[in-house]
């Protein structure tokens, strides 16, 4: 093994222009992803479509209406049928996807098929490679690395017996996907997302937004001061970190670290938390709320931990 993300090709009859599955209703490329990552999944499909001359109907995006499960169809049946026959399975593994039992079900289903090619895992950046811990030994390609995206194009093209076009022909889609991933899953982007989440669930946040919009007319400095206080309340995430011991409460949940953070914020005694990926301690994710004193950090590829920060003026 040379470590590359491999998607092997199936049999093609002599003289055939396209693989035998081209005329079938089954999609050529199955993209497994969390619902909140739909825009990134669309960008991935756009890149492969432009690079390999594929149509929208050649893709199965597992949470996208119209290009995923048909109306009135069984979700599980449709997903299993697509997984069984799709030549290429791409797993867009983000923090949101790592918290989704459906994403792991789709990846695990393919990994368990000895007669099928394995999934190709794709992560936003190097910071997120640790999300592959439940499938240790698998390699991931990074959305923020242009060279690895070109490698993905070549791998899928080889699987489908479709020669990629010149890079200049799909450069806009390539640049768009790199920039979109960098924006959504950059350190600053994730902090902004948590800030928005906090504002939405906080009554004070609603007041802050209202007052901030009003004060914009009279002085931007007051708005910046209020925003800095709100940002200071945010929890800082540490990927691959566990806080063993000092447990206040154990919760089993469907959501990701953000939901665990919300539970910690709702507990006055909670000073930190550790979120454990699904299929490690339970079929779902597990959230451990920690009390003071906060336990010492330990490295763990299956966990994400967060620590409360007190407001600047409190």
Take residue 174 and report the two structure tokens written for it.
């390539």
What average pLDDT does range 204-209 have in this prediction? 44
Q: How many CA atoms lie within 13 A of 100 on its CB side?
A: 20
Q: At what angle do helices 187-201 and 167-184 cross, to 10 degrees?
A: 50
Task: Tell me the C-alpha distance between 32 and 36, whole Å.
Answer: 12
Take residue 221 and report the two structure tokens written for it.
């400095």
For residue 43, pLDDT beyond 90: yes
Give the pLDDT band of residue 313 (cuts 50, 70, 90): very low
What average pLDDT does range 130-153 have in this prediction? 89
Q: What is the CA radius of gyration of the chain?
A: 22
Best-predicted range by mean pLDDT (22-26, 270-274, 299-303) = 270-274
pLDDT of residue 93: 93
- Looking at the whole model, is its pTM more than 0.75? no
Question: Strands, DSSP E only, in the chain?
Answer: 29-32, 59-61, 88-92, 120-123, 140-142, 236-242, 247-253, 270-276, 285-291, 298-307
For residue 157, pLDDT beyond 90: yes
pLDDT of residue 249: 92
Q: What is the pLDDT of residues 81-127, one digit of tens each?
A: 777 788 899 999 998 888 888 888 888 888 877 777 788 999 998 88
Q: How many CA atoms lie within 13 A of 74 on its CB side?
A: 4
pLDDT of residue 229: 42
Q: Kindly give, in sequence order, each residue whose CB lies less than 8 Å from that of residue 19, ignoring residues fewer than 6 positions away.
A: 9, 10, 12, 87, 160, 161
Task: Tell me the C-alpha distance between 248 and 292, whole Å.
Answer: 9
Task: Tell me the C-alpha distance between 95 and 128, whole Å.
Answer: 8
Burial of 241 (0-12, 13-18, 19+ CB in 10 A): middle
For residue 173, pLDDT beyond 80: yes
Query: How many helices (H) does the chain have, and how many strands (E)?
Result: 10, 10
Domains detected in the chain: 20-184 (3.40.50.10140), 187-233 (no CATH), 235-314 (3.50.4.10)
pLDDT of residue 191: 59
Mean pLDDT score of the chain: 75
Report which of residues 4 and 237 the model is more confident about. 237
For residue 164, pLDDT beyond 90: yes
* Collapsed DSSP state (helix, strand, coil) of residue 31: strand
* Collapsed DSSP state (helix, strand, coil) of residue 58: helix
For residue 23, pLDDT beyond 80: no
What average pLDDT does range 149-169 have in this prediction? 93
pLDDT of residue 245: 87
Which element (helix H / strand E) includes 194? helix 187-201
Report which of residues 285 and 4 the model is more confident about. 285
For residue 218, pLDDT beyond 50: no
Lowest mean pLDDT among 31-45, 66-80, 125-139, 217-231: 217-231
Q: How many percent of the chain have pLDDT more than 90?
A: 32
Compute the C-alpha angle 31/140/114, nearest 5°.
70
Report which of residues 102 and 248 the model is more confident about. 248
């Amino acid at each position: 093994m040379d470590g590359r993300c491999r998607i092997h090709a199936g049999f093609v009859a002599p003289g055939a222009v396209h693989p035998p599955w081209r005329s079938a209703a089954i999609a050529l490329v199955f993209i497994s992803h969390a619902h909140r990552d739909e825009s990134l999944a669309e960008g991935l499909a756009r890149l492969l479509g432009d690079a390999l001359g594929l149509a929208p109907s050649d893709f199965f995006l597992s949470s996208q209406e119209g290009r995923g499960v048909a109306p009135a169809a069984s979700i599980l049946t449709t997903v299993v049928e697509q997984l069984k026959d799709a030549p290429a399975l791409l797993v867009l593994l983000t923090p949101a996807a790592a918290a989704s039992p459906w994403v792991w079900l789709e990846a695990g289903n393919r990994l368990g098929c000895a007669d099928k090619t394995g999934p190709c895992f794709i992560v936003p950046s190097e910071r997120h490679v640790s999300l592959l811990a439940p499938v240790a030994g698998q390699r991931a390609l990074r959305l923020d690395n242009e060279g690895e995206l070109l490698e993905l194009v070549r791998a899928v093209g080889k699987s489908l017996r479709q020669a990629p076009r010149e890079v200049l022909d799909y450069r806009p889609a390539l640049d768009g996907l790199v920039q979109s991933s960098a924006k959504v899953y950059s350190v600053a982007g994730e902090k902004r997302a948590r800030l928005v989440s906090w504002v939405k669930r906080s009554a004070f946040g609603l007041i802050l937004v209202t007052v901030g919009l009003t004060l914009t007319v009279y002085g931007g400095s007051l708005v910046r001061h209020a925003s800095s206080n709100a940002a200071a309340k945010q929890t800082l995430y540490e990927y691959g970190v566990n806080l063993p011991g000092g447990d206040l409460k154990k919760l089993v949940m469907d959501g990701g670290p953000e939901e665990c953070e919300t539970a910690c914020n709702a507990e006055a005694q909670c000073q930190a938390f550790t979120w454990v990926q699904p299929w490690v301690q339970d079929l779902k994710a597990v959230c451990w709320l920690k009390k003071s004193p906060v336990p010492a950090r330990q490295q763990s590829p299956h966990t994400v931990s967060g620590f409360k920060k007190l407001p600047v003026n409190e």
